Amino acid sequence: MRLLIVTVLWYLFVALADARIGETPIQFADRYGAPKDSSVTKIADSHSPLVESAIHHTYEYQGWRIRAAFAELNGPALRMDYQKIITAGMNPAIQEYELQAIMTANTPPRTSWKTKMYDNPNSPNKGLAKFGEAYIANAIGEKMWQRTDGAIIWLHNHLIVRVELSEVRAYEEQLKAAKEQKTLASVPSF
Protein backbone atom coordinates (compact mmCIF):
# COMPACT_ATOMS: atom_id res chain seq x y z
CA MET A 1 0.00 0.00 0.00
CA ARG A 2 2.80 2.40 0.91
CA LEU A 3 4.55 1.68 -2.40
CA LEU A 4 1.29 2.41 -4.24
CA ILE A 5 0.95 5.80 -2.49
CA VAL A 6 4.58 6.70 -3.28
CA THR A 7 4.05 5.66 -6.90
CA VAL A 8 0.87 7.74 -7.17
CA LEU A 9 2.63 10.73 -5.59
CA TRP A 10 5.51 10.46 -8.03
CA TYR A 11 3.11 10.09 -10.97
CA LEU A 12 1.18 13.21 -9.89
CA PHE A 13 4.37 15.16 -9.31
CA VAL A 14 5.64 14.34 -12.80
CA ALA A 15 2.23 14.97 -14.38
CA LEU A 16 1.62 18.34 -12.72
CA ALA A 17 5.16 19.60 -12.19
CA ASP A 18 5.41 21.20 -15.59
CA ALA A 19 2.31 23.43 -15.42
CA ARG A 20 3.23 26.43 -13.41
CA ILE A 21 1.50 29.70 -12.71
CA GLY A 22 3.21 32.46 -14.64
CA GLU A 23 3.98 30.39 -17.73
CA THR A 24 2.76 31.29 -21.22
CA PRO A 25 0.16 29.57 -23.43
CA ILE A 26 3.00 28.29 -25.62
CA GLN A 27 4.60 26.58 -22.61
CA PHE A 28 1.23 25.05 -21.68
CA ALA A 29 0.67 23.83 -25.26
CA ASP A 30 4.17 22.32 -25.38
CA ARG A 31 3.19 20.08 -22.47
CA TYR A 32 -0.47 19.35 -23.08
CA GLY A 33 -1.02 19.94 -26.77
CA ALA A 34 -3.63 22.34 -28.07
CA PRO A 35 -6.10 23.64 -25.48
CA LYS A 36 -9.47 21.88 -25.30
CA ASP A 37 -11.43 25.09 -25.83
CA SER A 38 -14.87 23.84 -26.82
CA SER A 39 -18.09 25.82 -27.01
CA VAL A 40 -18.96 24.44 -23.56
CA THR A 41 -15.71 25.72 -21.98
CA LYS A 42 -16.14 29.09 -23.73
CA ILE A 43 -19.62 29.42 -22.22
CA ALA A 44 -18.29 28.46 -18.79
CA ASP A 45 -15.43 30.97 -19.16
CA SER A 46 -17.85 33.74 -20.12
CA HIS A 47 -20.19 33.03 -17.20
CA SER A 48 -17.50 32.26 -14.64
CA PRO A 49 -14.20 33.65 -15.85
CA LEU A 50 -11.02 33.06 -13.91
CA VAL A 51 -10.08 36.66 -14.72
CA GLU A 52 -12.46 39.15 -16.33
CA SER A 53 -11.47 40.11 -19.91
CA ALA A 54 -8.63 37.58 -19.97
CA ILE A 55 -7.83 34.91 -22.54
CA HIS A 56 -8.91 31.54 -21.14
CA HIS A 57 -7.68 28.11 -22.15
CA THR A 58 -8.65 24.70 -20.82
CA TYR A 59 -6.25 21.77 -20.94
CA GLU A 60 -6.89 18.11 -20.16
CA TYR A 61 -4.03 16.03 -18.92
CA GLN A 62 -3.94 12.58 -17.34
CA GLY A 63 -7.31 12.85 -15.62
CA TRP A 64 -7.09 16.55 -14.74
CA ARG A 65 -8.70 19.66 -16.22
CA ILE A 66 -6.51 22.74 -15.95
CA ARG A 67 -8.04 26.15 -16.72
CA ALA A 68 -5.69 29.07 -17.17
CA ALA A 69 -6.29 32.80 -17.63
CA PHE A 70 -3.80 34.94 -19.53
CA ALA A 71 -4.02 38.76 -19.62
CA GLU A 72 -2.22 38.85 -22.97
CA LEU A 73 -2.00 36.48 -25.92
CA ASN A 74 1.58 35.41 -25.08
CA GLY A 75 1.57 36.64 -21.49
CA PRO A 76 1.90 34.65 -18.30
CA ALA A 77 -0.95 32.70 -16.69
CA LEU A 78 -2.30 34.94 -13.94
CA ARG A 79 -4.70 32.42 -12.42
CA MET A 80 -5.18 28.66 -12.83
CA ASP A 81 -7.68 26.09 -11.59
CA TYR A 82 -6.84 22.41 -11.22
CA GLN A 83 -9.77 20.00 -11.10
CA LYS A 84 -10.14 16.28 -11.62
CA ILE A 85 -12.09 15.13 -14.65
CA ILE A 86 -14.96 13.15 -13.17
CA THR A 87 -15.24 9.57 -14.37
CA ALA A 88 -17.12 6.57 -13.06
CA GLY A 89 -15.70 5.13 -9.86
CA MET A 90 -13.25 7.93 -9.08
CA ASN A 91 -13.27 10.28 -6.13
CA PRO A 92 -13.50 13.90 -7.37
CA ALA A 93 -12.18 15.28 -4.07
CA ILE A 94 -8.59 16.47 -4.18
CA GLN A 95 -6.49 14.44 -1.77
CA GLU A 96 -3.71 15.86 0.38
CA TYR A 97 -0.97 14.22 -1.72
CA GLU A 98 -2.50 15.70 -4.90
CA LEU A 99 -2.60 19.15 -3.32
CA GLN A 100 1.04 18.73 -2.29
CA ALA A 101 1.98 17.80 -5.87
CA ILE A 102 0.28 20.96 -7.17
CA MET A 103 1.98 23.10 -4.52
CA THR A 104 5.37 21.55 -5.30
CA ALA A 105 4.88 22.14 -9.02
CA ASN A 106 4.13 25.80 -8.33
CA THR A 107 7.10 26.43 -6.04
CA PRO A 108 9.95 28.06 -7.93
CA PRO A 109 13.45 28.02 -6.44
CA ARG A 110 13.93 30.15 -3.32
CA THR A 111 10.21 30.35 -2.56
CA SER A 112 8.01 28.49 -0.09
CA TRP A 113 4.38 28.33 1.01
CA LYS A 114 2.94 29.40 4.36
CA THR A 115 -0.62 28.89 5.61
CA LYS A 116 -2.69 32.05 5.23
CA MET A 117 -6.01 33.03 6.79
CA TYR A 118 -8.86 32.44 4.35
CA ASP A 119 -9.53 35.65 2.43
CA ASN A 120 -12.05 35.58 -0.41
CA PRO A 121 -11.36 38.77 -2.41
CA ASN A 122 -14.92 38.79 -3.75
CA SER A 123 -16.51 38.86 -0.31
CA PRO A 124 -18.08 42.14 0.84
CA ASN A 125 -17.41 41.26 4.49
CA LYS A 126 -15.09 43.44 6.57
CA GLY A 127 -13.64 43.31 10.08
CA LEU A 128 -15.24 40.81 12.46
CA ALA A 129 -17.53 39.48 9.70
CA LYS A 130 -14.42 38.71 7.63
CA PHE A 131 -12.91 36.84 10.57
CA GLY A 132 -16.17 34.87 11.00
CA GLU A 133 -16.17 34.05 7.31
CA ALA A 134 -12.59 32.76 7.60
CA TYR A 135 -13.52 30.61 10.62
CA ILE A 136 -16.48 29.00 8.81
CA ALA A 137 -14.47 28.54 5.61
CA ASN A 138 -11.73 26.76 7.54
CA ALA A 139 -14.31 24.51 9.22
CA ILE A 140 -15.64 23.35 5.83
CA GLY A 141 -12.20 22.79 4.33
CA GLU A 142 -11.46 26.05 2.52
CA LYS A 143 -7.74 26.63 2.92
CA MET A 144 -5.23 29.13 1.58
CA TRP A 145 -1.46 29.37 1.40
CA GLN A 146 0.71 32.28 0.34
CA ARG A 147 4.04 31.92 -1.38
CA THR A 148 6.93 34.13 -0.28
CA ASP A 149 6.55 36.14 -3.52
CA GLY A 150 2.84 36.76 -2.87
CA ALA A 151 1.26 34.06 -5.07
CA ILE A 152 -1.71 32.26 -3.50
CA ILE A 153 -3.03 28.71 -3.55
CA TRP A 154 -6.63 28.17 -2.52
CA LEU A 155 -8.22 24.75 -1.89
CA HIS A 156 -11.88 25.31 -2.72
CA ASN A 157 -14.44 22.74 -1.53
CA HIS A 158 -11.83 19.96 -1.90
CA LEU A 159 -12.73 19.97 -5.61
CA ILE A 160 -10.70 22.83 -7.09
CA VAL A 161 -7.21 24.12 -6.41
CA ARG A 162 -6.80 27.72 -7.56
CA VAL A 163 -3.34 29.20 -8.01
CA GLU A 164 -2.88 32.89 -8.69
CA LEU A 165 -0.04 35.36 -9.01
CA SER A 166 -0.06 38.30 -6.61
CA GLU A 167 -0.42 40.65 -9.60
CA VAL A 168 -3.84 39.27 -10.58
CA ARG A 169 -5.75 41.17 -7.91
CA ALA A 170 -4.12 44.48 -8.91
CA TYR A 171 -4.94 43.67 -12.55
CA GLU A 172 -8.58 43.06 -11.59
CA GLU A 173 -8.69 46.36 -9.69
CA GLN A 174 -7.37 48.19 -12.78
CA LEU A 175 -10.06 46.55 -14.92
CA LYS A 176 -12.74 47.53 -12.40
CA ALA A 177 -11.50 51.15 -12.26
CA ALA A 178 -11.38 51.39 -16.07
CA LYS A 179 -14.92 49.99 -16.31
CA GLU A 180 -16.18 52.53 -13.75
CA GLN A 181 -14.46 55.39 -15.61
CA LYS A 182 -16.03 54.27 -18.86
CA THR A 183 -19.45 54.11 -17.21
CA LEU A 184 -19.05 57.60 -15.73
CA ALA A 185 -17.80 58.98 -19.05
CA SER A 186 -20.89 57.65 -20.81
CA VAL A 187 -23.27 59.72 -18.67
CA PRO A 188 -24.52 62.61 -20.80
CA SER A 189 -24.26 66.23 -19.67
CA PHE A 190 -27.87 67.10 -18.90
Q: What is the mean pLDDT of residues 177-184?
A: 90
Strand order in the sheet with 64-70: 55-61, 64-70, 77-84, 160-164, 152-156, 143-147, 113-116
Angle between the N-to-C axes of helices 2-16 and 96-105, in degrees from 0 to 180, rounded to the nearest 10: 30
- At 82-128, the pLDDT tens digits run 999 999 998 999 999 999 999 999 999 999 999 987 777 667 777 77
Residue 135: φ, ψ to 5°: -65, -45
**pLDDT class of 159 with cuts at 50, 70, 90:** very high
pTM > 0.85: no
Backbone angles phi, psi at 115, to 5 degrees: -55, 140
pLDDT tops 70 at residue 57: yes
Average pLDDT, the chain: 83
Residue 6 pLDDT > 60, yes or no? no
d(CA 78, CA 50): 9
